């Protein structure tokens, strides 16, 4: 069932999204060699709770952490651990906040130290594809237009677009209808209407699109063990231009 949001509900999601954006900024300020992914998770949880929210992911279907932290060939759903960031790593940090009964969801992939130009190009292209997808999230377009914009851009550059994992609706539940694939055909799929809030989240691999699931039942890794990038915003469909509710503003300030 699709749940279109009122302006009042959108404001509640926006408030949740601001806390999430600020929590991402806290994490961004810690990204450096020698920091453990568990430390990043602890800081995010502390910040979210200090600002009246709850980490959306913690306890979700039994997930034991506040963030999904996915280094290098891990696509998504990586467990924070004692793993320490190393020169040349990339690391996807995906988080959500529940505040005043509404969720928000966003992700960003960082480079650590000196990363190869090939991998930096993957990050840049994946981030660009997110915004190309968002440009299509306007009333009257279809979900296939969003997926096509992402898929066509990254596949022209030789990358693989993950099929098994997709974006989703966001609201009182973390994952609502509809599913939002990062691939598709123009003019196909659900017709978008004003007030639909969705998370658009390209997951793009340097090599094959194929992925495998680790024995923990959560961690998704590229089949060829090549790096994967992941960027995500929560957005609301509008008549002429999608509105982005989450923000990378605090991340970008921390990375300056």
DSSP 230: E
pLDDT digits (tens, 9 = 90+) for 117-176: 999 999 999 999 999 999 999 999 999 999 999 999 999 999 999 999 999 999 999 999
Angle between the N-to-C axes of helices 37-50 and 7-28, in degrees from 0 to 180, rounded to the nearest 10: 140
Is position 105 annotated in a ligand binding site?
A: yes
pLDDT digits (tens, 9 = 90+) for 29-77: 999 999 999 999 999 999 999 999 999 999 999 999 999 999 999 999 9
Residue 153: helix, strand or coil by DSSP? helix
Helix-then-strand count for the chain, H and E = 5, 15
What's the pTM value of the predicted model, to 2 decimals? 0.97
Domain parsing of the chain, residue ranges? 7-255
What's residue 179's pLDDT?
98
Is position 201 annotated in a ligand binding site?
A: yes
CATH architecture of 7-255: Alpha-Beta Complex (3.90)
- Nearest 10 degrees: CA dihedral of 166, 70, 67, 204? -30
Is position 168 annotated in a ligand binding site?
A: yes
Is position 230 annotated in a ligand binding site?
A: no
d(C-alpha 246, C-alpha 235), whole Å: 7
Is position 77 annotated in a ligand binding site?
A: yes
Residue recorded with tokens 């709770």: 49
Is position 9 annotated in a ligand binding site?
A: no
pLDDT digits (tens, 9 = 90+) for 101-114: 999 999 999 999 99
Closest to 30 in 3D by CA, of 74, 84, 101: 84
3-state DSSP percent of the chain in helix, strand and coil, to 5: 30, 25, 40
């Amino acid at each position: 069932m699709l749940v279109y949001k009122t302006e009042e509900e959108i404001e509640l999601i926006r408030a949740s999204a601001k806390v999430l954006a600020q929590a991402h900024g806290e994490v961004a300020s810690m990204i450096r060699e020698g920091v453990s992914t568990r430390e990043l998770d602890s800081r995010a949880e502390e910040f979210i709770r200090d600002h009246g929210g709850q980490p959306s992911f913690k306890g979700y279907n039994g997930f034991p952490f506040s963030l999904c932290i996915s280094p290098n060939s891990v696509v998504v759903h990586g467990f924070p651990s004692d793993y320490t960031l190393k020169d040349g790593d990339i690391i996807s940090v995906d988080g959500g906040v529940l505040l005043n009964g509404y969720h928000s969801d966003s992700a960003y992939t960082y480079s650590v130290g000196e990363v190869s130009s090939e991998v930096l190009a993957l990050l840049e292209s994946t981030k660009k594809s997110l915004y190309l997808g968002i440009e299509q999230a306007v009333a009257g377009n279809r979900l296939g237009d969003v997926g096509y914009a992402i898929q066509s851009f990254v596949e022209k550059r030789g990358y693989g677009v993950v099929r098994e994992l997709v974006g989703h609706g966001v609201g009182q539940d973390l994952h609502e209808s509809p599913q939002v694939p990062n691939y598709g055909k123009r003019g196909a799929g659900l017709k978008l209407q004003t007030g639909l809030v969705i998370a658009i989240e390209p997951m793009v691999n340097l090599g094959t699109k194929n992925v495998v699931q680790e024995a923990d039942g959560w961690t998704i890794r590229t089949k060829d063990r090549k790096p994967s990038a992941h960027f995500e915003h929560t957005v609301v469909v509008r008549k002429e231009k999608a509105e982005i509710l989450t923000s990378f503003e605090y991340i970008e300030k921390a990375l300056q």
